[in-house]
Amino acid sequence: MNIKPPFWHPSGSRGFILDWDGVIADTKLDFSGLRERYYGGRRAMLLEDASTLSPEDQSSLIKELCDLEMEGAAKAEPIPGAFELIGWLKNRNIPYTIVSRNCRESIELAAKTIGLELPDKVWSRNEQKKVKPHPRSLAEAARSIGLEPAECVLVGDFLYDLQGARRAGMRAVLVERDEPEWGAWSDVAYLKMTDFVADLDDPKPITPWEYREIFAKRGEKWLHAAFELAFELPETTSPTLDCWLVRVAALCVGTITVSSDYILGPMEWKNNQSFEPYFMGLTISSIAKKYLTSRYPMITVTTEEEGIKAPKNSLDLTRFIERKIF
């Protein structure tokens, strides 16, 4: 099935970033003992919070963590559906890599235990300068298979996976977990990996993360019709340019055209509180692309086509679109 924007399906992704534990291998790791010994029982991020420990405790923690991971790897079992997922990727020549917070040795041992050949690129914590959920780890993983983060989908079973994907501007699929409160972080969730694999072979349109709110309010017809619209960016916008851009994108307008591609100056930057400092001196079209891409990857910003004269006030956009599509 050919699924077109503004809808989406993971089967259309150019590359896959796979978590290890809980997605490919089940090593039944329990970190509660480490948290009790080193963090007083609080739910600390074991690796990131290690800097709060003494050098001796840091070394001891990492050693015990590796020992625990190796113990789990020796008893690893494949997640049902994991081999089928990898087979699906290989059959379609879709590049993929593995990104894990586990040590390299434990991943290799677990792969041997379950009888899986690892891909050429595997990112354990030994290879990551910043581990998940830091976006750098996922961006580097995507580029290691020749793709940008926005071209990839992450498949994970834990909140850190989803947080990392969102921070990297990457699509996110949650598997093997029934955690409704994590739904805001993922584009789609499957209770079982086998459900995910079955869906890859029979894809149906999914409303992506960024359009859930407008879909809930306005429905499928709105998304289809609004995405066909191209709005010309007014020379002046209210209350601010950043607000106008986000409002247009959130309403699922598919294209923003920029006819007057001026340079953003210091005062204009100051008035747009969510613009990064390095936006100063860039053209409006390049700023709009950089600003919107991570949240609204399907939107097009162009200087090469005409658009509909859109309202200057972002508060008028909803009613304006209603008149255009109904």
- Per-residue pLDDT at 183: 87
How do the pLDDT tens digits run along the chain, 326 residues long? 689 999 999 999 999 999 999 999 999 998 889 998 989 888 888 888 888 889 999 899 999 999 999 999 999 999 999 999 999 999 999 999 999 999 999 999 999 999 999 999 999 999 998 999 999 999 999 999 999 999 999 999 999 999 999 999 999 999 999 999 998 899 999 999 999 999 999 999 999 999 999 999 999 999 999 999 999 999 999 999 999 999 999 999 999 999 999 999 999 999 999 999 999 999 999 999 999 998 999 999 999 989 999 999 999 999 999 999 88
- Structural contact between residues 91 and 133, judged by C-beta atoms closer than 8 angstroms: no
Burial 267-282 (b: 16+ CB within 10 A, else e): ebbeebeebeeebbeb
Q: Give the pTM.
A: 0.92
Tell me which residue of 290, 204, 275 sits closest to 8, measured CA to CA.
Answer: 204
- Per-residue pLDDT at 1: 60
DSSP letter for 25, please.
E
Domains of the chain in start order, with CATH, are 10-24+78-206 (3.40.50.1000), 29-74 (no CATH), 212-325 (3.40.50.720)
- Per-residue pLDDT at 41: 83
Condensed to tens digits (0 to 9), the pLDDT of residues 113-158 reads 999 999 999 999 999 989 999 999 999 999 999 999 999 999 999 9
Interacting residues of 239 by C-beta distance below 8 A, sequence separation 6+:
313, 314
Instruction: Give the span between the Cα atoms of 136 and 235, in whole angstroms.
Output: 36
- Per-residue pLDDT at 45: 86
Structure tokens at 58: 């840091």
Structure tokens at 82: 């994991």
- Structural contact between residues 307 and 231, judged by C-beta atoms closer than 8 angstroms: yes
Q: In what order do the strands lie in the sheet with 188-190?
A: 122-123, 96-99, 15-18, 152-156, 171-175, 188-190
- Structural contact between residues 179 and 9, judged by C-beta atoms closer than 8 angstroms: no
- Per-residue pLDDT at 267: 94
- Per-residue pLDDT at 49: 86
